[in-house]
A and B are shown apart, each in its own frame.
Chain A
Amino acid sequence: MTATEHPPAYKYVGTRPIRHDGYDKVIGKARFAADLNLPGQLHGAIHRSPHAHAKILSIDTSAAEAMPGVKVVVTGDDFPALDPKNPNFDLAANIIARGVAYYHGHAIAAVAANTKPEAQAAAAAIKVEYELLPAVLSIDESMADGAPLVNETNHTKFVPPGEPSNLSTITNLDRGDVDDALAAADVVIEREFDCAHVHQGYIEPHACVVDTGPDGKTSVWCSSQGHFRVRSMTADVLGWDKSRVKVTPAEIGGGFGGKTTVYLEPLAARLSEKAGKPVKMVMSREEVLRATGPAPEAKMKIKIGATNDGELTAIDGWMAYGVGAFGDMAGLIGAMSVASYKFPNLRMETYTALTNTPKSAAYRAPSAPHAAFAIESVVDEVALELGMDPIELRLKNAAVEGDLTAMGMPHPRVGLVECLEALKASDHYNSEVPEGAARGVAVGFWFNIGEESSATVNLNEDGTATVLTGSPDIGGSRASMALMAAERLGIDVYSITPVVADTEAVGFTDVTEGSRATFATGKAVVQACDMIIDELKKRAASIMSVDVDQVAWVDGAAVSAGHGGGEGGEPLTLAAITAQAKRTGGPLTATASLNAAGAGPSFAVHCADISVDEETGVVSVLRYTAVQDAGTAIHPSYVEGQFQGGSVQGIGWALNEEYIYNADGVMDNASFLDYRIPVASDLPLIETIIVEVPNPAHPYGVRGVGETGIVPPMATIANAINAATGVRMTSLPMSPPKLLSALNKRSK
């Protein structure tokens, strides 16, 4: 359902047409990266480190090179040493090791051969001599005095230059006087939390086909969240000019942040260059789990003070995020995501720590779910201590326009209060909690971002339009772009063909992250439509023999006095104008590019009814509702899909998902059999309520919806478990063994 106070009168925006790419996807015609094959292509495979931390003394590729079908082998020596100031320095070292293997699974060498089995056999035959180095496998080990260095090239950011360190960032955010406020508080609750590494769990493994021609020009077909970023990262790692690389986006089978970076493309490009043939590389699920970026692990201490009447007066936080073997800013971003409540006094001490585990990657609202799990759990405890309804406590303290975020900047117009009110009025919240079950609620926040986008609108002779953008369609953005163009131009949404164009066919567009595509690329589409409407009015004025300032664009047609705008004559439809394009000045096309400012922050409130099997520790989710402020839902079905997807991933994070490392830093559960993500039979239908508090910085009010939905579920479930059992779970995942152990301790 949608909760909109004053719905604007849009004709297309807010409707639910069948997605333009739906037919191809339903019948299996859509082409994903692993579906692509080029004549004469080779197949690539990677030799990976068997150690969590080791110096590479020698690599002997001779036996591999002599094996049947093998065409070429590359190692770190085949790639340039980047300047440490290059923003892709760490990326390059992650793609292929240069002298040191920083984690189990780190790529050491790559092979291209006629067949995949031949490439895999040759990769296995590569002989590497290692000198083992001490492996640092946890945040505690990383931050301990005298800890071995995880990565000798890492230096701490935001502090004066110093020696190499295991800390990537040390940052503090503060306002007010936290100590005084806590001392004066009527209620103070303090808890410690931890979260394991989790993976985005996209169904489609990383895959690419790369063809480097004799002229050096390289064509890449791959699955990613942003093909312009694939271009720049691939070129940087190879030491090439970006213009050497053309990237054509394949369809994407899930990304969730994990495909905002590259792993295979530079390897395939170098193999292809050396072999003189196209090279295809496809990861196995095991490789995805061992060698691509999970979300960070984290440890947190949160102390919150409140008055007896429920005013939250202070928060004192300590947060450390473990991000793998390369630098990141997860700790700072986690602290910056503390934005849901007014908190006049705030102190967040944060660290980003390196460990000898895979390099972390973004995962929906990166760093915010960890922080929200901790803070929303403590807020729940405050409500319990005060005997207040958890929604009422949150309403009393909810951030509104002008309230400060942890990073110091005041909120623009935001919709947290509206989300809380919508849940409070919902059927779910007003229903009886089922017998034997319990209910939990929690809040989530994410910034959303703008960044650069481009769009081209081409009008065809028959009055249809083609809309080209550079944003891969991850969650229904083709349909959203078409809806916004239809609304602006005034033509049917199926008269518009939305195209995700390659890096040489559309202007630069940043990666699809930060819930930015419908906001920023949508803004570019609307601007391009406005430009082409101006041109349509000029053409119409010429046909009508009137001044252009006498022409208006109304419902897909030009009107003027005597032409639908007064006595006599018909309006000139878009199709009537495009049919005369040649006579009035030629093809009608417009391109808009922008760096979008004013991304609208988004809040969500979730509610879960769960039951706990106290004999097994298994939690069953009986009913789940996700409420979120979308600003404006361009295509409500895909907005709801984002809410549901984020909720399901968050429930998996809450209850089951975790990287389990052994003492040698080897992941013990590198398959979907042992790394348990929720499946449809595990969960009820996720109910959704779309709240629409329009973002004034977007022509239709879009905020972006892709990430916030994953922020509240962990605390929502933890709060429900506490209500069901009286046990406060502070460690993710709240898996059956952990919950059973906690229940047994409670019993004693």
Chain B
Amino acid sequence: MPTVHLMTHHRPFTGGEAIVEVDGATVGAVIDALEERYPGLGEMIRAGSSAGIDGEVHAEPEYVPVSPDTVIYFLAPLAGG
């Protein structure tokens, strides 16, 4: 299953767990699985997030395919000046 790393403000939903494993073939499916397991977490992630997926940062990664070995870091949205 893909491994998901959560930022600190996500962790109240998981009882403090920083790293969880959930199933899904895309990042969106992973977020759906997180929402099902931890109600409210998926909504917070979708409210504005980029994600580091196997070392590359993606903006709005909903449909990025993932495999059981994929490591996902949900991040705050990144912008710049």
Contacts and interface: CB of A to CB of B under 8 A. Distances in A.
Interface of A: 157-159, 171-174, 200, 256-258, 260, 329, 332-333, 336, 361-366, 407-410, 412, 446-452, 513-516, 595, 597-599, 697, 706-707
Interface in B35-81: 44, 47, 52-53, 55-60, 64, 73, 75-81
B62 to A, nearest CB: 11
A532 to B, nearest CB: 26
B59 to A, nearest CB: 5
Contacts of B55: 410, 412
Given A407-B75, A412-B56, A365 B80 contact: yes
B79 A449 contact: yes
A363 B81 contact: yes
Contacts of A513: 79-81
Given A407-B7, A408-B73, 5 more contacts: A158-B44, A159-B9, A174-B8, A257-B80, A333-B79
A408 B79 contact: no
Nearest to A515: B80
B81 A595 contact: no
A446 B7 CA distance: 19
Contacts of B78: 333, 336, 447, 449, 514
A158 B9 CA distance: 6
B57 A598 contact: yes
A329 B7 contact: no
A407 B76 contact: yes
B73 A409 contact: yes
A323 to B, nearest CB: 13
Contacts of A597: 53, 56-59, 64
Given A159-B9, A173-B8, A513-B81, A599 B76 contact: no
Contacts of A451: 59
Given A329-B76, A409-B73, A597-B56, A365 B8 contact: no
B7 A173 contact: yes
Nearest to A255: B81
B80 A446 contact: yes
Contacts of A157: 47
A408 B5 contact: yes
Main secondary structure of the interface of A (DSSP, over half): loop
Contacts of B56: 412, 597-598, 697
Contact of A514 (B58, B73, B80): B80
Nearest to B64: A597
Contacts of B79: 260, 333, 362, 366, 449, 513-514
Interface string B9-51: 1000000001000000000000000000000000010010000
B76 A333 contact: yes
Contacts of A256: 81
Contacts of A707: 80-81
B7 A408 contact: yes
Contacts of A706: 80
A447 B81 CA distance: 11
Given A260-B81, A409-B52, A412-B56, A336 B76 contact: yes
Contacts of A260: 79, 81
Nearest to A410: B55
Contacts of A174: 8
Contacts of B80: 257, 362, 364-366, 446-449, 513-516, 706-707
Nearest to B9: A158
Contacts of B18: 408
Nearest to A598: B56
A4 B29 CA distance: 42
Contacts of A171: 7-9, 76
Closest 4 CB pairs of A and B: A257-B81, A514-B80, A362-B81, A158-B9
Contacts of A361: 81
Contact of A366 (B5, B57, B60, B81): B81
| Residue of A409, A447, A450 with highest tally of chain B CB at under 10 A | A409
B21 to A, nearest CB: 16
